[in-house]
Amino acid sequence: MKFSKFNFRIIGLPLVRPFRTSFGTQTHREVLIIEVVTQENISGWAECVAMSEPLYSPEYVAGCLDLMKRFLIPALNFESSAEQVATKLKPFLGGQMAKAALETAILDAQLKKSKMSLAKYLGANKTKVECGVSVGIADSIPKLIDEVSDYVEQGYRRIKLKIEPNWDYEPVKEVRNRWPEIPLQVDANQAYSRNDGKLLARLDEFNLLLIEQPLDEHDILGHSQLAKIVKTPICLDESIISLQSAQDAIEMQATSVINIKPGRVGGYIESVKIHDLCLSKKIPVWCGGMLETGIGRAANLALAALPGFTLPGDTSASSRYFKKDITSPFVMNDGYLDVPNGVGIGVEPDLDYLDSITIHKESVVRK
């Protein structure tokens, strides 16, 4: 497939409420949106899931844009299939989120040309996906209970609580006591150390689905050691950046559940490889979220519809995060979201709204 140009825009999408984690509070989601235009004038869309600052991962919005313009697009030479992208870009170290965005935009255009949906291309066997919701660290336990109550009433089928030292046992206890049957898990975002095994083992009494990424992303050995102390399944998130890292973590018994985030592993094609590995090893997987707009949310739903995704993910309704999405909103029905079945990723952005929230805009044009 040959391309005529790559259009980039950075948008500032207002959040419904501030989103506070160990890394700070966000009131807007700064998103890098990519449009690849083929020589047949077919547009393929994607978003880069990198945050504004290199706090969740080494990648950040401005850095990803520079990496794409300076190195990745010239390496593609305005011609590539989606399946060739990872191989062509492999010489450039890191940059998984930037690479994933380019691969997805090309894949969207490629599938539109062949009139195939992303869900079918990836091998989905479901038409709807169970919705979970991620709940940030609240100002107080009563405020946390109010927020979780709202999500339970909306019909979310799984609750994930962010935790950190001094915000773990008591908030989890209160939520579990209030909702003894609801599927519940916690996400530490690397906030603990190897010395915190006994502290995290206290959470075993709450019948959690999993503890997500308790230790540093590079500490695979530490996670393996922790898994011998804690009965609750350990789930790796930030540590899983490729098929190889997933293989290593499973071999070291550092994880018994894996969170697959396409942006973090380099794209949806690599995500399917990790899914297939985990399915063969009987390791449950679920699809994590990065506050995606409707563009990324549509693609994540297609991935989460694969057979190995047996746990509800973070693919919430659009209204969970945004007053207005940049695509038609994803609306939850009885705790599920429908998997898009249109060609490509199955959604198109609202260009007028995009223009109204665009902070920066530029293009790389074939000469």
Give the number of C-alpha atoms closer than 13 A to the C-alpha of residue 236, restricted to the C-beta side: 33
Determine the pLDDT at residue 281. Answer: 97
Q: For 289-302, what is each residue's pLDDT tens digit?
A: 899 999 999 999 99
Q: For 330-362, what is each residue's pLDDT tens digit?
A: 999 999 999 999 999 999 999 999 999 999 999
Q: At what angle are helices 82-89 and 96-114 packed, to 10 degrees?
A: 160
Which entry of 99, 112, 160, 261 is annotated as an active-site residue?
261
Q: For 60-84, what is each residue's pLDDT tens digit?
A: 999 999 999 999 999 999 999 999 9
Closest C-alpha among 274, 289, 269, 282 to residue 233: 282
**Average pLDDT rounded to a whole number, residues 201-224:** 98
CA 208 vs. chain centroid, Å, equals 21
Determine the pLDDT at residue 20. Answer: 61
Which entry of 112, 162, 198, 231 is annotated as an active-site residue?
162
Closest C-alpha among 235, 311, 249, 326 to residue 32: 326
In the residue annotation, 173 being an active-site residue is answered as no
In the residue annotation, 112 being an active-site residue is answered as no
